[in-house]
């Protein structure tokens, strides 16, 4: 019985996710579900996207955090339209949370909506929020073995952003080990190396977003 | 009904956690539930403890990972007694997983059992595995705002290990911001700053473990 009820809940979540996707498509908004560990640089990556695309493509943000509105305040300070969801003890954003948030977001004024999920490399992967694509974010400081140890995200993401590459000389991170682990999980996945701190690779990140917005595949 | 069933499951988990605690006490083993993000350095911190205490106190390890036995192989290579639990899609270790693992662990030969939880700053906090204390691990690379944004762990842990302090000069990490955020959540919590890479602070980490093993409080 427990299992049946769990399945019911998941089915309902999937239904709401599909409904969100229809709404996003109707408004022609590309939606990215950004998933990474605490401190991998999710908010910094969104800030960098805003700087790259500002005046050209309008980005909105939904911020998922257990507590605090620090990131939302930070993003609004840059002129971004951002909405905070606090999950309390919740380890992921759910399709229903997104559906409710959409009542407060003017989708018609956006080209891109980035959903910054709760910092967690595991649970958020299991929920379809209705996004165009999942983006996996991992930082050099987390070590080169993350794809092998947390394969779920790396199987489902369309692209992986490897952040904090400025730390490579100050760590034991091996690009060879990282790429070989990642390719074993998902041979086709794209990777963009960036440092949100130095700006390296951010042009490529912006170009990926532009390309993804103009390409209808998967929308 | 959904809520009632969820509560039943949690009650059952708590019962098993309490049972585990009785078993640990019977054997006089101090058990530490090590919780931190992916890549915060959980396995490295255990390796460091082993180097500090080897020949003096016997440490056993339960390794929780979604997939792979990389960490267990790594620890066994150092002569540590380590047991792997793979959780698949599971975002935390449960009291029942620990109970089952105990059938394969010789508690009578151990002074300390370190349970390396799945890399996750959220879900593992909600489960009492029967441990003597929760240890919160966070790395400088994750940023100085983690206590504010993920308060659950920092409320429940007995001590926080701040790892990768060798990266402070290469990052925007502010000790002042970190400590003020942490103290706002938990004024009394102890903090040990370490770098598993350079060895800085590891003596203090070893001393904390020794002290905690000899002190019966909370056991």
CATH of the domain at B69: 3.40.50.300
Residue range(s) defining the domain that contains residue A129: 2-214
- Residue A167 CA to its chain's centroid (Å): 22
Q: What is the per-residue pLDDT across B62-116, written as a single tens digit (0 to 9) for each?
A: 999 999 999 999 999 999 999 999 999 999 999 999 999 999 999 999 999 999 9
For residue A167, being part of any structural domain is answered with yes
Indicate yes or no: pTM above 0.80: yes
Report the gap between the CA of A27 and the closest CA in chain B (Å). Answer: 32
Does A66 sit within 8 Å of B152, measured CB to CB? yes
Q: Tell me whether residue A98 is in a domain.
A: yes
Please give the ipTM for the structure prediction. Answer: 0.91
Q: Is residue B132 part of a domain?
A: yes
CB B123 within 8 A of CB A123: yes
Question: Do the domain assignments include residue B189?
Answer: yes
The answer to whether position A219 is within a domain reads no
Average pLDDT rounded to a whole number, residues B204-212:
97
Q: Note whether B26 contacts A: Cβ–Cβ < 8 A.
A: no
* pLDDT-derived band at B1, boundaries 50, 70, 90: very low
Q: What is the Cα B1 distance to its own chain's centre?
A: 34
Give the closest-approach CA distance of B37 to chain A in angstroms. Answer: 6
In this predicted model, which residue has the larger pLDDT, B2 or B126?
A: B126
User: How many domains, in total, are found in chain A?
Assistant: 1
**Interchain CB contact of A170 with B (< 8 Å):** yes
Chain B nearest-CA distance from A49, in A, is: 20
A interface test, pick of B36, B47, B141 with most A CB neighbours within 10 Å: B141
Ordered strands of the A59-65 beta sheet: A81-86, A59-65, A112-116, A30-36, A133-139, A159-163, A190-193
Q: How far is B214 from chain A (nearest CA, A)?
A: 33
The three-point CA angle B182-B187-B191 to 5° equals 60
Residues of A in contact with B170 (CB under 8 A): 166-167, 170
Tell me which of B5, B13, B36, B39 to substitute to probe the interface with A (most A C-beta atoms closer than 10 Å): B39
Q: What are the pLDDT tens digits along chain A (219 aa)?
A: 445 667 787 789 999 999 999 999 999 999 999 999 999 999 999 999 999 999 899 999 999 999 999 999 999 999 999 999 999 999 999 999 999 999 999 999 999 999 999 999 999 999 999 999 999 999 999 999 999 999 999 999 999 999 999 999 999 999 999 999 999 999 999 999 999 999 999 999 999 999 999 875 554
pLDDT of residue B8: 81
Considering the domain boundaries, does residue B219 fall inside one? no
């Amino acid at each position: 019985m427990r299992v049946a009820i769990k399945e019911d809940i998941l089915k309902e979540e999937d239904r709401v996710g599909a409904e969100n996707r229809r709404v996003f498509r109707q408004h022609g908004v590309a939606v990215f579900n950004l998933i990474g560990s605490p401190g991998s640089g999710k908010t910094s990556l969104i800030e960098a996207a805003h700087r790259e695309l500002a005046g050209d493509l309008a980005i909105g943000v939904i911020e998922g955090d257990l507590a605090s509105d620090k990131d939302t305040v930070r993003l609004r300070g840059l002129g971004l339209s951002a909405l905070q969801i606090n999950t309390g003890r919740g380890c992921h954003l759910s399709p229903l949370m997104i559906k409710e948030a959409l009542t407060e977001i003017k989708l018609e004024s956006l080209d891109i909506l980035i959903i910054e999920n709760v910092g967690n490399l595991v649970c958020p992967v299991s929920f379809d929020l209705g996004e165009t694509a999942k983006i996996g974010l991992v930082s050099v400081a987390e070590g080169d073995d993350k794809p092998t140890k947390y394969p779920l995200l790396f199987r489902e993401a369309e692209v992986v952003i490897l952040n904090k590459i400025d730390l490579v000389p100050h760590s034991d991170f091996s690009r060879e080990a990282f790429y070989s682990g990642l390719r074993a999980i998902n041979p086709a996945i794209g990777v963009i190396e960036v440092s949100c701190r130095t700006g390296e690779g951010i042009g490529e990140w912006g170009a990926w977003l532009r390309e993804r917005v103009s390409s209808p595949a998967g929308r």
